[in-house]
Amino acid sequence: MDVVIAGGHGAVARHLGRMLADRGEHVRGLIRDEGQRGHLERDGVEPVLLDLEAADADAYRGAIAGADAVVFAAGAGAGSGAARKETVDYGAAAKLLTASRDAGVDRYVMISSMGAGDPPPEREGDDVFAVYLRAKAKADRELMASDRAWTVVRPGRLTDEPGGGHVALAAHVERGAIAREDVAAVLAAVLDDDRTVGHVFEVVAGPTSIPAALDALVAGD
């Protein structure tokens, strides 16, 4: 499998890249900083320079050409303002969706956020987190309305604790936290399992192994 990860230097993305590379997949990580190249190479991931905000359609298509799947793992990040939530968390995800159509990449896995399923309505003076949730919600809606083979993963609060490999995973779960490493493991499992196409789900740390949790999710199909 040839997988392209947008936001390839992020913490979840790097966990995912290492997991996929370790099992023999070809992984490309989209980065905008040349200084991040060596980090990805040491992970076994091919770095591809692409500024997700500034790149045009041709650059996006070239970056993902020949891929079997794309994973949107980018984000404006902590400390960024409302404007970058729109240009990265929504805008870059939408550009990647267009590029996936143009390049013939059918599989698209989105890292979203718990809360994006019911974002707060727009109000004057909204805080940045509310803007972020609306941006993620808009990106999710466009992907889910598309003709791609999509899966939307909405993790709870992210931590840097070691992953335990056990989760609570369903269309809706109680709010909680989850290790970034476990989010990456869920994404790797989703990429392996075509039964997850067309599913949107929340995930936090829990009692169930990732394979069993995904089996339960798709059991109603």
CA distance linking residue 209 with residue 190, whole number of Å: 13
CA distance linking residue 210 with residue 213, whole number of Å: 5
Residues listed for the chain: 221
Segments in the chain forming alpha helices (H): 11-22, 37-43, 57-64, 82-84, 93-103, 128-144, 180-192, 210-218
Burial class (CB in 10 A: 0-12, 13-18, 19+), 182: buried
Query: Which residue has 């990429």 as its token pair?
Result: 191
Which residues are designated catalytic?
132
